[in-house]
Structure 1
């Protein structure tokens, strides 16, 4: 049967039907079909054995009743020569020790001894299965006494057709194949219906390219695994589309920011070559160096942002944030004073170089916009290390509090106070805060702007 199943699932047969043997549907169907064949074969064998045992058991019991009855008569010596017998136990013989049929029923009178087997004296009752001609006979043999020459009474019947032929086995094989095919068909249909949304998702997904992420996958109804997968994939596509849009915008803005100083530098150099007598070479060189410094700053900032977004691991260490702020804020150049208030026990786990970059950006930004004072406060708040840098300047409008963290974004006041800035400092500072599992925001202040850096607090070292 297994060999027949293997023949049915040969690759050429399935390929002719257009079935991919590597598909989940085909593999699952083959697995269920194989399991069904094994299971139904075992069930068929059990049923076959059970039916045979039941039929043969009933036949032997009926034979035992008839044989016991005539064994008692034979012991009295009044055994009739023609033994009366009725169906179904119509074969009865009394056979002597020499194998000669002494008395028999009408149906067994013309037959030789039904069996040559004689039960031993210590086991007088035995069940026998013999062939008389080409027909199987189920017999009960009883030795009428333990004497050595005691005759044996045989009583039995021809085996019923259900156990005499292989019809039961043929029926079992046919039923097994039919049920296995039914199980395979049902499995193929159910898995095909279940996997139909997956095929639709695959086809739609194959049409989505990096140039167009606006397409979405079809979402099946319900909350099964396939529906959840489609929803998650659509959410991922939405995030990818937003990231690609931001990337295109960033590329465009970066190109513009780099093109402007490069164009100015080119004009200056071309003027120096075209009008050597009218252009001061020293001034041209100084201007070119200043432009080169700005370009270098932008490129370095872009490289730092690329490293932060690539997830490259930084060297992390326990840092006393209060000591670091005091160290960076104290040696300030003449100008707006910085007042520092540090509470003890503010430790974080991070990169010293990157945190210094954040603090420098915030301090430079605050001193640029402050009128008379910059205040820095370091304190632990609700399991977080909080650094607030505030100034008493004009402040930042609520509508611009998130915009100032965008790349190359510079408000009008910042452009006026520092025309050479790159507009990447605050964006880099927020990326560093996120890389340290923290945040950087502009929060409410009584006057001026207040930048607040929050980082996870660790126990004091």
Structure 2
């Protein structure tokens, strides 16, 4: 129990509180001692001052009778060190500070522990030139100093109060931390149950505000992303298996048919069909490997590239059945891997070629801090409700399947993944006609050394 966070926090809190209370106890005892001593000193001084005042006004022995707030230990000591007068409590007692009186001291202020008194006293005295008992006498008053026996109730009371405070602090710490950990225990219990309930389960969110609620919301958001990633991977495996099965089945069938034919059978058409299936398999595998690398965010070298110049070279070398016009602004630099940018452009142009009726337009321009690449075709376009679906892996609209049955459905998802890796975006926007794909990438800074960055 004490090895838990709750137990350790309670022990540490109590230890710190005990240290603080011990310091407070010492300070209070020092203050109490000083306060008591000041009262004792004040008591003896006030007694002497009052007796001296009464003597100067002509009072005799009756001036030694003490009142409230005064000490009853009063003596009048002659210059020879003998007691010439004393209060009732000091009658028959030896002289206080006789040596100091005979030495001729005018003022006496010291602590003494005479044998005939129970404990130490604080002595205060003043010399008088004239008195009813003769000249040159000293009036001395003694006030008992506080001892542990006298003040034992104060430290005992303080210790009891501080012990109670420590118990209260320990209980409050244990109780408060326990209540704070209740939502965490609930979250832990719910997460331990995921094996039985699946990723669709969510942890409870305490409506307490602060860090605990943020923790539960973050856990649920993470679980949601994990569930989406798992579902996406499941669909990915299912779709990949389906897309791979078709060319594999066709390839196997053609090869089996070719083996069953007589030796003089014309085999070239069969081999050509098998070669087409093999190429399709290769395209799917290449796309799957590229997606795997993109998902892993593997570091690749990047460099500062002129986006307009890169597009110009790629369009110039690309054979196409549809004319492509370009409007390329110079000096639009981005920091990325040129090979991946070429793949994005190639996927966008391939998609445009499948749907264009007679023209494709490519533009590169700078808009604020972004480099913008647009690819427009004059085809039928994409319905607004299906614009996000075209970026799902293996997702293909009916028109796309009709125009190119051999497509993999991975070109546009790969293009978007690459754009997001370099801090940009790829989306379908409104256009005058057909589909308008807009790629945005951050403008690169000044030329510098190449870095390796997979994000």
Same structural fold, with TM-score higher than 0.5 when normalized by the shorter chain: yes
Determine if the alignment matches structure 1 residue 59 to structure 2 residue 52: no
Determine if the alignment matches structure 1 residue 108 to structure 2 residue 108: no
Q: In structure 1, how many angstroms separate the alpha carbons of the residues matched to 2:196 and 2:381?
A: 41
Range that drifts further, 119-128 or 363-372: 119-128
Question: Which residue number corresponds to residue 124 of structure 1?
Answer: 107
Change (3 A) 1:307 1:83: same
Range that drifts further, 126-135 or 405-414: 126-135
Matches within 5 A, 1:433-452: 433-452=419-438
Q: In structure 2, how many angstroms separate the alpha carbons of the residues matched to 1:84 and 1:443?
A: 110
Asked whether the equivalents of residues 347 and 385 of structure 1 are also in contact (C-alpha less than 8 Å), the reply is yes
Q: In structure 2, how many angstroms separate the alpha carbons of the residues matched to 1:152 and 1:358?
A: 112
Change (3 A) 1:276 1:432: farther
Query: Shift of the alpha carbon at 1:240?
Result: 1.8
TM (normalized to structure 1)? 0.83
Q: In structure 2, how many angstroms separate the alpha carbons of the residues matched to 1:357 and 1:247?
A: 23
Determine if the alignment matches structure 1 residue 138 to structure 2 residue 124: no
Question: Which residue number corresponds to residue 132 of structure 2?
Answer: none
Query: Shift of the alpha carbon at 1:71?
Result: 6.0
Q: In structure 1, how many angstroms separate the alpha carbons of the residues matched to 2:2 and 2:413?
A: 52
Query: Shift of the alpha carbon at 1:82?
Result: 11
Change (3 A) 1:118 1:215: farther
Q: Deviations over 1:56-76 (max 9, x none)?
A: 322322322333455688999
Q: Deviations over 1:213-244 (max 9, x none)?
A: 11212111232221122122222222222222
Asked whether the equivalents of residues 81 and 99 of structure 2 are also in contact (C-alpha less than 8 Å), the reply is no
* Paired residue secondary structure (1:216): coil
Change (3 A) 1:144 1:316: same
Asked whether the equivalents of residues 122 and 145 of structure 2 are also in contact (C-alpha less than 8 Å), the reply is no
- CA RMSD, aligned part only? 3.5
Question: Which residue number corresponds to residue 408 of structure 1?
Answer: 394
Q: In structure 1, how many angstroms separate the alpha carbons of the residues matched to 2:343 and 2:405?
A: 20
Unaligned stretches of 5+ residues in structure 1: 1-18
TM (normalized to structure 2)? 0.83
* Paired residue secondary structure (1:118): helix
Question: Which residue number corresponds to residue 215 of structure 1?
Answer: 201
Asked whether the equivalents of residues 68 and 142 of structure 1 are also in contact (C-alpha less than 8 Å), the reply is no
* Residue 172 of structure 1, aligned match among 158, 177, 201: 158
Question: Which residue number corresponds to residue 456 of structure 1?
Answer: 442
Query: Shift of the alpha carbon at 1:101?
Result: 4.3
* Paired residue secondary structure (2:376): strand
Q: Deviations over 1:326-351 (max 9, x none)?
A: 11112332632222222333222221
Q: Deviations over 1:395-418 (max 9, x none)?
A: 333333222222122333333333
Change (3 A) 1:261 1:112: farther
Q: In structure 2, how many angstroms separate the alpha carbons of the residues matched to 1:204 and 1:334?
A: 57
